Amino acid sequence: MATKQIQLSGAGGQGLVLAGVILAEAAMRDGKNVAVAQSYGPEARLGASKAEVIISTEKIAYPQVTRPDILLCLSQDAFAKYFPAVDNHALVVIDSTQVHMKSRERDNIIQLPLLRAAVEHVGNKLVTNIVALGALNALTGLVSWENLERAVAQRTPAKFRDQNLRALAVGRQLAQHILTNQTKEVDLWQQQQRPNGKAS
């Protein structure tokens, strides 16, 4: 990896800035150069917002994302705003719980039920951002797992540390299902977690 440009997008209040900081810290622990930026829509709590992270083994000349290699969308508004600007070379990961497409649109889109996984397998929708980080890293190998776990532990309150580490693991499992089954979408991932593959 020379340089990777990552956009983490969603609605204000979904923890994208924290996710960006955690990813950047993990990359720095790996010895890479990092730049982080953030922006919000006109209504921070409702409008589309994003955090940008550039990770490189080389010197970073410009600290903002110009051509995303990876785009995460956790809300419909964010998908509508940021997806049209990425080209086919980028990996696009969307939360299928929150983002609905009329068609597949492009082959570079991976759909994961991130919010649903956070609720059903961690018990807290507020850790969707960490579930997303786990999935992204499993799909891309941006940073080492050891340092990503350390960054999550460092950046989250002590009383929520175990919950956030669990969220990271859940996201990793989601992505591993994608990688193992050579598919672009996980709609019924919970079936893999129950005996005989039957959802309750």
CATH, residue 124: 3.40.920.10
- Position 33 in a domain: yes
Q: Is the pLDDT of residue 65 over 50?
A: yes
- Position 197 in a domain: no
**For residue 132, what are the domain limits?**
3-189
Count the Cβ atoms, other than its own, within 10 Å of residue 42. 8
Q: Is the pLDDT of residue 44 over 70?
A: no
- Position 108 in a domain: yes
pLDDT at 48: 76
pLDDT at 199: 35
- Sort residue 108 into left (φ over 0), alpha (ψ -120 to 50) or beta: alpha
Structure-block tokens of residue 29: 């622990």
Summarised one tens digit per residue, pLDDT across range 147-193 is 999 999 999 999 999 999 999 999 999 999 888 876 666 553 333 33
Q: Is the pLDDT of residue 41 over 60?
A: no
DSSP per-residue string spanning 160-198: GHHHHHHHHHHHHHHHHHHHHHT-SB-S-GGGGGSGGG-
**Domains in the chain: how many in total?**
1
Q: Is the pLDDT of residue 39 over 90?
A: no
- Position 42 in a domain: yes
- Position 142 in a domain: yes
- Position 145 in a domain: yes
DSSP per-residue string spanning the chain: --EEEEEEEEETTS-HHHHHHHHHHHHHHTT-EEEEEEEE-SSTTTSEEEEEEEEESS--SSSS-SS-SEEEE-SHHHHHHHGGG--TTSEEEEETTT---SS---TTEEEE-HHHHHHHHTS-GGGHHHHHHHHHHHHH--S-HHHHHHHHHHHS-GGGHHHHHHHHHHHHHHHHHHHHHT-SB-S-GGGGGSGGG---
174 and 122 Cβ atoms separated by less than 8 Å: no
- Position 195 in a domain: no
39 and 56 Cβ atoms separated by less than 8 Å: no
The number of CA neighbours under 13 Å toward the Cβ of 73 is 29
Structure-block tokens of residue 42: 């006109």
pLDDT at 189: 37
Summarised one tens digit per residue, pLDDT across range 71-109 is 999 999 999 999 998 988 899 999 999 998 876 566 789
Summarised one tens digit per residue, pLDDT across range 99-152 is 988 765 667 899 999 999 999 999 999 999 999 999 999 999 999 999 999 999
- Position 139 in a domain: yes
| Pairing of the two strands 3-11 and 48-56 | antiparallel
